[in-house]
């Protein structure tokens, strides 16, 4: 059984350590833990890993955040992955730093990456992991905040939260969405 795990972010060195790139960081950590490497593919970098009889196609779209749907749609079709096996990892300013929130469907919440995926798929009925990046910024400075880098405290706490996000992804594929939501939401 195949799963598409799409970590959203922006390509380019200037974005590597920004909050908006937490999706890339999560799939990078998952690939590193499994000892697999990303290769350049169409519309993104991809890595394949096996876990308990499942195949994960890890995707880091190269289309930039606002056009993530193009990469997600392409890899779903190319790998013949059903929509219920799509799991998108994205940053969320409405959640405190490090908080994980799993949903099976829902609105884009103003997130342009999720909005573009919904436009590409024609619906919002796909699972996503929202990774809290906090929202400690003055009104009107959201872009500067999400494209800003981690504080020292956040950077120090990040490895443990990335490990937890990896556990969520493995659980999604082995235990299913509902059990994963019950076990990990808001942890």
Rg (Cα) of the chain, in Å, rounded? 15
Contact 180, 102 (CB under 8 A): yes
Give 94's Cβ-side CA count (13 Å radius). 7
Active site residues: 20
Q: How far is residue 136's CA from residue 70's CA, in Å, rounded to a whole number?
A: 31
* CB proximity list for 165: less than 8 A, separation 6 or greater: 26, 29, 30, 89, 100, 129, 131
């Amino acid at each position: 059984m195949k799963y598409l795990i799409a970590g959203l972010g922006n390509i380019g060195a200037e974005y590597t350590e920004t909050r908006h790139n937490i999706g890339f960081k999560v799939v990078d950590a998952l690939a590193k833990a499994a000892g697999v490497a990303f290769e350049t593919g169409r519309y993104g970098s991809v890595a394949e890993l096996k876990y308990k009889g499942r195949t994960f196609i890890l995707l880091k779209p190269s289309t930039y955040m606002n056009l993530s749907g193009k990469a997600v749609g392409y890899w779903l079709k190319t790998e013949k992955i059903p929509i219920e096996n799509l799991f998108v990892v994205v940053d969320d300013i409405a959640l405190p730093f490090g908080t994980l929130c799993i949903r099976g469907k829902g609105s884009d919440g103003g997130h342009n990456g999720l909005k573009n995926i919904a436009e590409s798929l024609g619906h919002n009925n796909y699972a996503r992991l929202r990774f809290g990046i906090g929202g400690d910024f003055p009104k009107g400075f959201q872009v500067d905040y999400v494209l800003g880098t981690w504080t020292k405290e956040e950077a120090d706490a990040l490895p443990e939260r990335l490990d937890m996000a990896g556990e969520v992804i493995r659980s999604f594929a082995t235990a299913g969405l509902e059990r994963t939501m019950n076990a990990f939401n808001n942890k």
